[in-house]
Structure 1
Amino acid sequence: MTAQRMPRRRRVKTRGPVWLFDLDNTLHHASHAVFPAINRGMTQYIMDRLKVDIDEANRLRVGYTVRYGATLLGLVRHHGIDPADFLREVHTFPDLPSMLRAERGLTRMLRALPGRKIVLTNAPTLYAKTVLAELGIARLFERVIAIEDMRRGNHWRAKPDAPMLRHAMRRAHVRMEDAILVEDTHGHLKSYRRLGIRTVWIVGHLPMTKTSSGGISIRKPGSGRPHYVDRTVRSLRALTQSRRLPLHPK
Structure 2
Amino acid sequence: MTIDNDPHDAYTRSTQAQVACNSRHLESLTHPGCQLCFPLTPPTSLPPPDPSLRVFFFDIDNCLYHASTRIHDQMQVSIERYFQHSLNLDPEAARALNHTYYREYGLAIRGLVMFHGINALEYNQLVDDSLPLQDILQPDPALRAMLLALKHSGAFDKLWLFTNAYKNHGARVVRLLGLGDIFDGMTYCDYSQTDTLVCKPHPDAFERARQQSGLADYANAWFIDDSGSNIAQGLHLGMGNCIHVVEDQVNEVLGATPEGAVVIRSIMDLPSVAPQLFKSE
Whether TM-score is above 0.5 comes out as yes
- The answer as to 2:258 corresponding to 1:226 is yes
Which protein has the larger Cα radius of gyration, Structure 1 or Structure 2?
1
The structure carrying a bigger helix percent of its residues is 2
CA drift of 1:168 comes to: 2.9
Secondary structure of 1:25's match? coil
- Structure 1 residue runs of 5 or longer lacking an equivalent are 1-12, 209-217
Q: Which moved more, 1:96-105 or 1:135-144?
A: 96-105
The 5 A counterparts of 1:176-191 are: 176-191=218-233
Partner Cα separation in structure 1 for residue 131 and residue 237 of structure 2: 39
Mapping 1:101-250, distance limit 5 Å: 105-113=142-150, 114-115=155-156, 116-148=158-190, 151=193, 154-174=195-215, 175-197=217-239, 198-204=241-247, 208=248, 218=249, 226-229=258-261, 231-243=262-274
**Amino acid corresponding to residue 154 of structure 1 in structure 2:** D
SS at match of 1:42: helix
- Cα distance in 2 for partners of 1:185, 1:81 equals 26
CA–CA separation in structure 1 for the residues paired with 2:88 and 2:102: 20
Which moves more between the two structures, 55-64 or 88-97?
88-97
1:190/1:246 Cα in 2 relative to 1: closer, same or farther (>3 Å)? farther
1:44 aligns with 2:81: yes
1:96 equivalenced with 2:127 (yes/no): no
The secondary structure found in structure 1 opposite 2:195 is coil
Tell me the TM-score normalised to structure 2 length. 0.70
- Aligned residue for 1:139, secondary structure, equals coil
C-alpha spacing 1:103/1:225, structure 2 compared with 1 (3 Å): farther
Count of aligned positions:
217
Q: 1: CA distance between counterparts of 2:70 and 2:259?
A: 32
TM alignment of 1:1-80, pairs within 5 A:
15=52, 17-80=54-117
Return the offset for 1:172: 1.8
Residue 101 to residue 189, structure 1, CA distance change in 2 (3 Å): farther
CA 1:168–1:178: 2 relative to 1, 3 Å: same
Q: Identity of aligned pairs, percent? A: 23
